[in-house]
């Protein structure tokens, strides 16, 4: 009779704390919670906008509350982290060949960063106009 008894290790729900790589992955995924909330804040702003100037101004002033400032600070950091991970993984989803050679990862990543900077500056300019 077989004496085999393969031992199956259970994956614990805290697996992502066991290696840095996984923790950063979870942070990347976790950034979505903050970005979701940020979108809700904006949606709420639109609601207030539809209710007239006073309501919209009230919304704007709520944003000055330290809790909101702190929240936005964290969201900014996480959003930036999302951008960094997004750009660094971008080459994996690209299947372009130039003269029979695959496009170098570096080129793709740099391209994304340049796009990012241009778009960000453009946003700023548009708002400031």
Partner 1 sequence: MEWCMEIIKTDVAIVGAGGSGLRAAIEIAENHPQLDIALISKVYPMRSHTVAAEGGAAGVIQTSDSLEQHFNDTVSGGDWLCEQDVVEYFVENAAKQLTQLELWGCPWSRKEDGSINVRAFGGMKKERTWFAADKSGFHILHTLFQTSIKHPKITRFDEHFCLDLIVEDNKIQGVLILDIAEGESKLIQAKSVIMATGGAARVYTYNTNGGIVTGDGMALAYRHGVALRDMEFIQYHPTGLPGSGILMTEGCRGEGGILTNKHGYRYLQDYGLGPETKKGQPKNKHMELGPRDKLSQCFWQEQQKGNVYHGQRGDYIHLDLRHLGEAKINERLPFIRELAKAYVGIDPVDSPIPVRPTVHYTMGGIATDIKTATSLAGLYAIGECASVGLHGANRLGSNSLTELAVFGQVAGQQAAEFAKRTEHIDVEKIREQAQQVINRTEALLNSDGTEKMSDIRQAMGDCMEEGVGIYRTQESMQKTIETLAELKQRYQHIKINDKSSVFNTEFLYAIELGYLLDTAEAIAHSAILRKESRGSHQRIDEYNSRDDINFLKHSLAYYKKTGAPEIQYAPVKITKSQPAERVYGAASETKEK
Partner 2 sequence: MTPKQTDKTRATQHSKQYVRSHEPVFWGLFGAGGMLTAFLTPMMVLITGLLIPLGLINKTHLNYEKVQAFASTWYGAGILLILIALPIWHTLHRIFHSLHDLGIKRGRDWQQVICYGFAFAVSVFVFTLLLQIVTL
Partner 3 sequence: MSTNKIDIEILRYRPELDEKPFPQVFSVPYNPDMSILEGLQYIKDHLDSTVSFRWSCRMAICGSCGLMVNNVPKLGCKAFLRDYYPNKVVLEPLMNFPIERDLVVVMDDFINKLEEIKPYIIPKQDSTLSDGPNQQTPAQMQKYQQYSMCINCGLCYAACPQYGLDNQFMGPAALALIARYNRDSRDDASAARMKIVNQEEGVWSCTFVGYCSVVCPKGVDPAGAIQLLKVESSKDYLIGMFKPE
Residue 1 in the binding site for partner 1 (CB under 8 A): yes
C-alpha to C-alpha distance for 129 and 126, rounded to whole angstroms:
5
Residue 98 in the binding site for partner 1 (CB under 8 A): no
> Which structure tokens are listed for 51?
């209710």
Would you say 8 or 50 has its CB closer to partner 3?
Answer: 8
DSSP summary character for residue 6: P
Tell how far CA 96 is from the center of its chain.
Answer: 25
C-alpha to C-alpha distance for 74 and 97, rounded to whole angstroms:
39
Question: Can you give the binding site for partner 2, defined by CB under 8 A?
Answer: 11-13, 16, 26, 29-30, 32-33, 35-36, 38-43, 45-47, 49-50, 53, 56-57, 60, 63-64, 68-69, 71-73, 75-76, 79-80, 82-83, 86-87, 112, 115-116, 119-120, 123-124, 127-128
């Amino acid at each position: 009779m077989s004496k085999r008894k393969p031992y199956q290790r259970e994956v614990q729900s805290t697996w992502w704390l066991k290696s840095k790589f996984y923790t950063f992955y979870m942070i990347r995924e976790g950034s979505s919670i903050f970005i979701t909330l940020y979108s809700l804040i904006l949606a709420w702003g639109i609601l207030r906008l539809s209710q007239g100037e006073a309501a919209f101004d009230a919304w704007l002033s709520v944003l000055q509350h330290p809790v909101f400032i702190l929240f936005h600070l964290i969201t900014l950091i996480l959003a930036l982290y999302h951008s960094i991970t997004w750009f660094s993984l971008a080459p994996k989803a690209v299947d372009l060949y130039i003269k029979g050679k695959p496009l170098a990862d570096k080129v793709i990543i740099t391209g994304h960063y340049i796009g990012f900077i241009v778009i960000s500056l453009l946003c700023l300019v548009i708002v400031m106009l």
